Amino acid sequence: MIEIDAQQLADRYMAQWTTPDATERRTAIELLWATDGVHVLQPPAEMRQVAAELGFGHSTLEAQGYDAIENRVARGHERFVEAQGFAFRARPGAVRLHGLVKFGWEAVSAETGDVVGGGLNILVLDDDGRIRTDYMFPGA
């Protein structure tokens, strides 16, 4: 596997969510992700509760491939950056262990700079250093 700076990768990953230009976002996705990469999101607790009440043993949300990931990132940008005025940033201290990168992130009010949320991501990289699987845990 090629050398990857874990913090730099985490910073680039978080930047894709805040990039306002759709063409630039798509380019960032194609540079970061494997062609068949998968974004796996652990939904918020209230969504997991509803799923459990409906008989689903576990609930995860997934987007696979450039188009689906681009749609997911675009919807996240619209909802959190445009509508709510958040920015996202990786916390310092990203670490790499073989083909895994783990990092924390924060949602920050663009107006006040206050941290309003965050989470944890674990990225599984392919041999080219692109994201094969992204496990996102908001609120972690």
CA-nearest of 121, 131, 99 to 29 is 131
Q: Is residue 72 part of a domain?
A: yes
| Structure confidence at residue 1 (pLDDT) | 67
Containing domain of residue 48, as a range?
Answer: 6-138
Q: Is residue 76 part of a domain?
A: yes
The mean pLDDT of the chain is 92
Q: Is the pTM of this model over 0.75?
A: yes
Q: Which residue has the higher pLDDT, 62 or 103?
A: 103
| Structure confidence at residue 59 (pLDDT) | 74
**pLDDT tens-digit readout, 33-81:** 999 999 998 877 777 788 778 887 777 888 999 999 999 999 999 999 9
Report the distance separating Cα 4 and Cα 129, nearest Å.
7
Supply the CATH number for residue 92's domain: 3.10.450.50
Mean pLDDT value across residues 103-112: 96
Residue 22, classed as helix, strand or coil, is helix
Q: Is residue 1 part of a domain?
A: no
Orientation of helix 22-32 relative to helix 6-18, angle to 10°: 150
| Structure confidence at residue 22 (pLDDT) | 95
| Structure confidence at residue 47 (pLDDT) | 76
Number of structural domains in the chain: 1
Mean pLDDT value across residues 119-131: 96
Q: How many CB atoms lie within 10 A of CB 10?
A: 25
